[in-house]
């Protein structure tokens, strides 16, 4: 472990079982942990190290392993080290627990992820549609969702055949897609 | 309810097209000529094209030379300028705004996004062809069009109005069923606006065969004392 890392962080990291940690920088720490231990980590970080700011939760869809990766980005104004905590959850059933009781802003991030990826967060205050109010299709950020096919089914296209293109086509050329 | 509306429309006098006197026709020409030289753009911007408007409107290119200036409310505006891409959510607001504007009204599609989706052609959330949802008078190609191109477009629109060619707003009343059908395709069958377009079409004497149809029939459940219940075609015939 690095000498620069504050002791309080070291002690928290040691308390969490099966945690892999990688220090990218004095100000940037990447933690990979089991999904069961994440709420405990957040509680410890918030309670002991002043990690009051959950700046985002991001989600990554991994089709090869059939998993979602959830990344919790945390910031402490005292320690000044950005922590990103990575967990993997299976795509089916795609459920996880909400951290709304620890960080209130998580409600928005979880609602957004539910809409864009279909992950359901148990205990979240609101899982209603958020931004996509006119959306009837599957969660659009999934790798399995083909935006091109959806667009082809939903919208019509404008015919495009200007004179200059006709000239080129007469000589055997065409528009390359 | 239905019979009431029918009676009303029957009691309305339907003037013959030939009835307009020569003097009146001349006055119409003069009105068109004047109208083309005093156009207000609705101050509503979507997408990235809005950034080209400040130089167009202000002293560098000075659109007021052409009698064009921004206006804050849809009721007072003549031109609805769609400046760039429209998300489906924005399109809803655009249609609401368009229907609130007083006729004659003109729509300008600015930039390639309004023509065919532009660089967002692959996006699930962006509308591809604006003219399916509201009638468009003039398109300005470019990504984005420079203020020179915008002014060229304004001049073309003025010329069209002057010659009496800019009549797409009538098309909205003539083919309301088709436009509404396309809108419902995006927003779902419950889509309806507070503006009573069918009654307006009657008022402007633009009620045609295609004003109502299978799509407007879905509006019936939102009809009230203030909003026309679309009359089935059989009753009119």
B57-88 per-position pLDDT tens digit: 999 999 999 999 999 999 999 999 999 899 98
Residues of chain B neighbouring A157 (CB-CB closer than 8 A): 116, 128-129
What pLDDT does residue B48 have? Answer: 86
Question: Does residue A177 lie in a domain region?
Answer: no
Domains in chain B (CATH in brackets) are 20-165 (3.40.50.12280), 167-237 (no CATH)
Question: Does residue A174 lie in a domain region?
Answer: no
Question: Does residue A98 lie in a domain region?
Answer: yes
pTM for the structure as a whole: 0.81
Please tell me the distance from the alpha carbon of residue A137 to that of residue A147, in angstroms, as a whole number: 11
What pLDDT does residue A66 have? Answer: 93
A154 and chain B in contact, CB less than 8 A:
yes
The domain tally of chain A equals 1
A164 and chain B in contact, CB less than 8 A:
no
Residue of B76, B30, B39, B33 lying closest to B151 (CA atoms): B39
Residues of chain B neighbouring A132 (CB-CB closer than 8 A): 125
Model confidence pLDDT, tens digit, residues B90-102: 999 999 999 999 9
Please tell me the distance from the alpha carbon of residue A25 to that of residue A81, in angstroms, as a whole number: 9
* Mean pLDDT across B188-217: 88
**pLDDT beneath 50, residues of chain A:** 1-2
Reported ipTM: 0.74
Q: Which CATH number goes with the domain that contains A124?
A: 3.30.460.80
Residues of chain A neighbouring B115 (CB-CB closer than 8 A): 158
Question: Does residue A163 lie in a domain region?
Answer: no
What pLDDT does residue A99 have? Answer: 94
Question: Does residue A56 lie in a domain region?
Answer: yes
For chain B positions 116-175, those within 8 Å of chain A (CB to CB) are 116-117, 121-125, 127-129, 132
Question: Does residue A156 lie in a domain region?
Answer: no
What pLDDT does residue B6 have? Answer: 45
Beta-carbon separation of A150 and B124 below 8 A = yes
Q: CB-CB: which of B121, B123, B186 is closest to A134? A: B186
Question: Does residue A151 lie in a domain region?
Answer: no
What pLDDT does residue A3 have? Answer: 53
* Mean pLDDT across B35-41: 92
Strands in chain A per DSSP E: 20-25, 28-32, 53-62, 67-75, 82-90, 95-97, 120-122
What pLDDT does residue B135 have? Answer: 94
What pLDDT does residue A124 have? Answer: 92
Domain extent for A20: 7-141
What pLDDT does residue A177 have? Answer: 67
Question: Does residue A168 lie in a domain region?
Answer: no
Please tell me the distance from the alpha carbon of residue A20 to that of residue B66, in angstroms, as a whole number: 67
- Edge-first strand order for the sheet with A82-90 is A20-25, A28-32, A82-90, A67-75, A53-62
A129 and chain B in contact, CB less than 8 A:
no
């Amino acid at each position: 472990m690095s000498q620069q890392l504050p002791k309080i962080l070291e002690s928290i990291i040691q308390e969490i079982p099966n945690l892999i940690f990688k220090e990218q920088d004095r100000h940037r720490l990447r933690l990979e942990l089991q999904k069961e231990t994440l709420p405990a980590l957040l509680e410890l970080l918030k309670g002991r190290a002043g990690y009051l700011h959950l700046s985002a939760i991001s989600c990554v869809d991994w089709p090869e392993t059939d998993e979602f990766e959830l990344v919790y980005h945390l910031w402490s104004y005292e320690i000044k080290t950005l922590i990103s905590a990575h967990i993997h959850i299976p795509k089916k059933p795609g459920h996880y627990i909400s951290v709304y009781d620890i960080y209130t802003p998580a409600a928005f991030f979880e609602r957004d992820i539910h809409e864009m990826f279909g992950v359901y967060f148990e205990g979240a205050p609101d899982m209603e549609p958020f931004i996509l109010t006119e959306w009837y299709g599957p969660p659009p950020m999934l790798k399995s969702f083909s935006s091109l096919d959806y667009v082809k089914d939903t919208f019509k296209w404008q015919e495009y055949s200007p004179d200059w293109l006709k000239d080129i086509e007469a000589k055997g050329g065409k528009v390359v897609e | 309810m239905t019979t009431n509306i029918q009676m009303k429309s029957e009691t309305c006098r339907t003037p013959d097209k030939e009835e307009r006197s020569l003097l009146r026709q001349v006055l119409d020409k003069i009105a068109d000529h004047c109208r083309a030289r005093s156009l207000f753009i609705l101050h509503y911007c979507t997408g990235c094209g809005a950034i080209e408007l400040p130089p167009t409107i202000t002293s560098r290119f000075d659109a007021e030379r052409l009698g064009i200036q921004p206006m804050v409310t849809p009721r007072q505006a003549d031109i609805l300028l769609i400046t760039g891409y429209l998300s489906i959510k924005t399109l809803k607001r655009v249609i609401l705004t368009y229907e609130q504007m007083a006729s004659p009204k003109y729509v300008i599609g600015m930039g390639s996004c309004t023509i065919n989706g532009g660089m967002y052609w692959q996006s699930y959330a962006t509308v591809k062809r604006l003219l399916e949802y509201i009638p468009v008078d003039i398109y300005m190609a470019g990504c984005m069009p420079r203020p020179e191109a915008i002014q060229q477009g304004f001049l073309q629109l003025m010329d069209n109005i002057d010659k009496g060619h800019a009549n797409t707003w009538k098309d909205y009343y003539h083919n309301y069923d088709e436009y509404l059908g396309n809108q419902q395709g995006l927003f779902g069958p419950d889509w309806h606006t507070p503006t009573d377009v069918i009654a307006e079409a009657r008022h402007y004497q633009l009620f045609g065969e295609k004003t109502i149809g299978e799509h407007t029939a879905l509006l019936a459940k939102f009809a009230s004392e203030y909003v026309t219940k679309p009359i089935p075609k059989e009753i009119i015939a």
